[in-house]
Amino acid sequence: MRRITQFHLEHVQALFLNERSRREGIRGSLSTPVAAISFAVFAFSSLSVEVDPERWRQASTLAIFVLGAAAAIALFASAWQVLMAEWLFVYHEPPRLVDLLDDVEGRSDAEEEAHVRAMLAASYAVAYERYLQGNAISARRRTWALRLILLSLLLQALAFVILPFHRAGW
């Protein structure tokens, strides 16, 4: 029969490995807002070619400028959310086991093994908690990045809807 410390070690190790896979899934899904950001930048370039800034006093031109500015703000906010999500992946690393172990002499081999097993379980538990917290924040930031880039694209679409009125001189 296995001892409770071995069950505990296997349990926290499984929790840690599951959260680490979730972390990689979230990290991989950050490519969606990044691709949408590049598409939005391309849309901005298309819009900027079509707008005549000399007509800035016309209502349609002002509306396009306001929508474009709001879209740019949403675009930069989305990029910031992606950057901060990635930042958490880089700076939420588990502690090293060497940093947790204390070097005490005079322990028997069985006591030393139990101590190392407990420290290893503690290391996995700390890493799991850090990954759990970081993953929750990163998933939330990824969601906000998607929402903001969709807002930016929607605002740009509205600007394109107004573009025929701008060309007509309204």
In the three-class reduction of DSSP (H, G, I as helix; E, B as strand; rest coil), residue 108 is classed as coil
* pLDDT bracket for residue 144 (50, 70, 90): very high
Q: Where are the domains of the chain?
A: 4-47+56-168
Residue 83, amino acid: L
Asked if residue 91 has pLDDT above 70, the reply is: no
Quote the pLDDT of residue 87: 82
Cα–Cα distance, 40 to 42 (Å, whole number)? 5
Q: Give pLDDT tens digits for 119-129.
A: 788 888 888 88
Quote the pLDDT of residue 103: 61
Asked if residue 102 has pLDDT above 70, the reply is: no
Global pTM reads 0.74
Instruction: Report how far apart, in Å, the C-alpha atoms of 35 and of each of 38, 72, 112, 166 are.
Output: 5, 16, 52, 29
